[in-house]
Structure 1
């Protein structure tokens, strides 16, 4: 299960969602990804982890769902379910409902130095699938000096640093591809239907 949290250091409603994501990540079946957005930077504090690409991804989900606006904190679960990220009861209800659902796609990862091998297969055709490679930092603490969270030391986990679409798979014939990687940050590979569709499968190398 993949949980994307769209969050910001400049959002006073976000710290409870940041803490909830870290708690959910204790489950080994959960891949937690915190994507810091940049659209609250204007209110006095520039998020040190923000990336315009993450804002664009959140906007893509909104457009795909027919929504005009985006907000923080928002959690998107398996590319399908969106929920206000600090509403713990709503989030845990979706997580419980989705737990144990079998994935139609198998992903196997192997790293050899600066090369990552990705092998995908499925029991039945699933249609076109985009292959995403994500890197994240385990955690960090930020002393916020201005904005809505001024004067607070905030703990963050699963901080996404890079997000790239590296291939498109036909979803039928088994595929093995190799991509360059560097550094020792954890690696997540997602198989997601194009245009912000469902995430069919995910795998991780810590």
Structure 2
């Protein structure tokens, strides 16, 4: 059962990035330089983005369960696998709780941040933050794990992904709604999903992480 679990985890990234890209292109009024992808859950067709987040989050959790089976006895990285489970669960939970309309999206929304935050908007932010922290932890922990097992390339890849995600998350908090903040975080999201996909495919192809 391990290979199907890992394949499910590997599919999460392409689905998230692919569907999100199509949405960003076809949804009227959406501008990636100004709007976060989470805003796509609003307006006509917003359900597509919500379902995508829930689905890819759950696929990530499934993949992480498969990944846990790829460690040699006594070498399982609980924090690495746990971080991925937290990330997947956070993405799925954020999909259930829609971000508040903001910055002119969907069309007709005031061109500013909302004056008040709804319960689901607040929950979306908290779930996302917890998930992002889980991914960062997974990157750093698995970087160290790969380093101990002389997989220098994967150690560096994991470390760089974690650092980029951490810097982008901090930058988003400081520059939300700006072109630099949005594009920087978008790059981090794509890199994070790429890391997860390649990690799952590596484990699936070799049958282990050694």
Q: Report the TM-score, using the length of structure 1 for normalisation.
A: 0.25
Structure with more of its chain in strand, by fraction = 1
Structure with more of its chain in helix, by fraction = 2
Q: Report the TM-score, using the length of structure 2 for normalisation.
A: 0.24
Q: Which has the higher contact order (CA 8 A, sep 6+)?
A: 2
